[in-house]
Structure 1
Amino acid sequence: MAAYQLAQQALAGEFAARWAETLAAVEAREIAGSLTELEAEWSAAVRESAAASRVLSIAFYRLVRALETGRVIGGPGYRPGASLGSLWADFNRATGKRTGSGPSTALPMDTRDPFPAEDLAREARRAEETFRHQVADRVAAHERERPARHGSSALDDPALVAWEKEFAESLKTGSTGAGGMLVQDAGRDAIHAALQDDPGAIGYYRKTDASPCYFCALMAGRGAVYKSKRTAAFGAHPHCHCQAVPIFSRRYQLPAENGKFSRMWRDFGGGSLADWRTYYSTTTKT
């Protein structure tokens, strides 16, 4: 559903806006001395948006499952007597928009809870590692490079100012993409875990955004990915807005884009991933 994908993108956007505001309040040359405060802000922004992503994904999964099977699954957010009407209301609340409605007749329930408990310690470690890689390590390398490049240049030296500005923009781009991936991964991971533990689930397909990169186009071109431990990984990357759409019936219908990418792969005829990247770039520009 487009509403789900747009809502997940909006959550990544909320994180990006909050993080951009935090970075804007610190001069580039002062970032090294502000890492503790920056990490605290980064972690809080990721944590809050990721929690909303997880809630949204659970509401989406439960709604799609009910629409396709006529049954409701238990787990976080389930309320006794749930109906398509109440599931749509939960989904609308999570997206912040009214995207659908349904009858109030209570649905049969499958008591199994396929959604894993939140592993807050794991999520905190992942956020810490990502911040270290995308911010702290890069800032340390930048600080080491400054004396060699600019020596004792005045702080208002045009070359130094331009260099600091370029670094700040690069830091913002990299850390924003990585943080947005963590935010959306909270929801993607919830769906993947549920698929593995839900007997009613068959698999998923990859729903791309309007202009996916070569990798995402290739993954979407696979079509449906039937569940197994081997195929559980989704393969998202920074700035990726693809989502996993769960499948509960063999009568599913893939978006037109998936078929288009599958045909492109067949026309490509085989080769390395680098060759596919060139072919995809050339083909989509014509």
Structure 2
Amino acid sequence: MLRRATAALVEEHWQAQERIGANVAAHALAQWSRVNPHSLEESGSAWLAWMLALIRRERRRSRDQAAAFFRLYRALETGHTVPPLSGEYVGETTTLGELREEWADQTDTVRLPEPDDGEEITLDGFDWPEEPKESHDRAAVASLVSQGVAKVRQHLDQVDDDQDRGRLDDGGFLQELEEAVDTAGRSSAGAADREALRAGRDLIDQASKRDRRVVGWARITDGNPCAFCAMLASRGAIYTSQATAAGGGRRKPKDSPDGRVRANRRPPVAREDLTRYHNGCHCQTVPIYSRNDFMTPQARDFDRQWQEVTRGMTGAEARRAWRRHIESSRS
């Protein structure tokens, strides 16, 4: 199970990223009110340009924040860290206190002194991955257009094709159009949230692939995950092929307190699934540095719930039961 300091940092990480995404979503909704379906091309283009500028700025925040998390998290887990994202030379060592200060600065939080702040941390040689800005821009534009303006355009095109609709200023049509615009606004806000967090998630993903100390990855859920995300978290860590080989393959069953042998946890999902995020999702994928059981308290609870809810079930039947269970308990 995660050490207290690491578990607290992981919790702070997804919450800090969530604040970035939620702020972008709120701005997206506010600006969406300027989109006029009667001048969709002009007003939609203006909205898209404004949103892209905002997302670019917040992607930088997400990336800088993720780098500060990565440096502190790695130090807590291994006693070693990597140089700053800025590339600035800072010597061959740093301290936990300095890394915590950087994290507090990036998250705009007040940091309290810790007893081990003076602990010296060695800096390993490391090259941070560059952000593929053009690729991220293309993804943002495609997502915002498909979830926003394109949905309104699709509704208008359907009206044009319907000969029985009558006048376009009909009260029923206007009400329906307003609802379609509102729905598109909410969808595009969710897309904006996701796109703002893309850079931070991508940085962690790419940096951890380069990090020779990483042995695997785990999904960390936000405070109110969907069934799919909760399932991913409940499965704990997946390991690199090298780490699995070094560990002798799959884990053996553990004895429970009553002396009976527990069944193995379900086989882990593919690594690609760990890095799949839907609109409105604030989960994160984090690297792991030890084959010790990597489970947050929430993930351990989801594991217990899965075993209870899906007892005697497999495959699609188990997934359906799990989805009903999580959806009925979500706030």
TM-score computed with the length of structure 1 as normaliser? 0.88
Query: Counterpart in 1 of 2:266?
Result: none
Q: 1:274, 1:238 → 2: CA distance?
A: 26
For structure 2, the residue ranges without an aligned partner over 5 or more in a row are 1-9, 243-269
Encode CA deviations 1:205-243: one digit per residue, 9 max, x unaligned: 211122211100111111012246962551111111111
Correspondence for 1:94 among 77, 88, 106? 106
Matches within 5 A, 1:128-277: 128-147=141-160, 148=162, 150-154=165-169, 157-227=170-240, 231-232=271-272, 233-251=274-292, 253-267=294-308, 268=310, 269-273=312-316, 275-277=318-320
Are 1:203 and 1:224, in contact at CA under 8 Å, matched by a contact in 2?
A: yes
Larger radius of gyration: 2
CA root-mean-square deviation: 2.5
Are 1:19 and 1:41, in contact at CA under 8 Å, matched by a contact in 2?
A: no
What amino acid is aligned across from residue 141 of structure 2 in structure 1? E
Query: Counterpart in 2 of 1:42?
Result: 51
Q: 1:248, 1:281 → 2: CA distance?
A: 34
Give the deviation of 1:280 after TM superposition.
3.6
What amino acid is aligned across from residue 108 of structure 1 in structure 2? T
| Residue 281 in structure 1 maps to residue 293 in structure 2 | no
Give the deviation of 1:199 after TM superposition.
0.8
Query: Comparing 211-220 with 271-280, which one deviates more in the overlay?
Result: 271-280
SS at match of 1:82: strand
Query: Comparing 99-108 with 233-242, which one deviates more in the overlay?
Result: 99-108
Number of residue pairs aligned between Structure 1 and Structure 2 = 283
Q: 1:271, 1:22 → 2: CA distance?
A: 46
SS at match of 1:176: helix
Are 1:32 and 1:139, in contact at CA under 8 Å, matched by a contact in 2?
A: no
Correspondence for 1:108 among 81, 100, 122? 122
What amino acid is aligned across from residue 144 of structure 1 in structure 2? D
Q: 1:207, 1:62 → 2: CA distance?
A: 18
Q: 1:169, 1:228 → 2: CA distance?
A: 47
Query: Counterpart in 1 of 2:63?
Result: 54
Are 2:82 and 2:125, in contact at CA under 8 Å, matched by a contact in 1?
A: yes
Q: 2:139, 2:317 → 1: CA distance?
A: 29
Give the deviation of 1:99 after TM superposition.
4.6
Give the deviation of 1:142 after TM superposition.
1.7
Encode CA deviations 1:124-176: one digit per residue, 9 max, x unaligned: 1111221232234323212212332743243xx43233212211121012111
Give the deviation of 1:70 after TM superposition.
1.2
For structure 1, the residue ranges without an aligned partner over 5 or more in a row are none
Q: 1:140, 1:284 → 2: CA distance?
A: 32
What amino acid is aligned across from residue 202 of structure 1 in structure 2? V
Are 2:34 and 2:47, in contact at CA under 8 Å, matched by a contact in 1?
A: no
Are 1:49 and 1:183, in contact at CA under 8 Å, matched by a contact in 2?
A: yes
Q: 2:215, 2:200 → 1: CA distance?
A: 18
What amino acid is aligned across from residue 126 of structure 2 in structure 1? R
Q: 1:280, 1:221 → 2: CA distance?
A: 13
What amino acid is aligned across from residue 183 of structure 1 in structure 2? A
| Residue 8 in structure 1 maps to residue 17 in structure 2 | yes
Query: Comparing 219-228 with 165-174, which one deviates more in the overlay?
Result: 219-228
Are 1:29 and 1:164, in contact at CA under 8 Å, matched by a contact in 2?
A: no
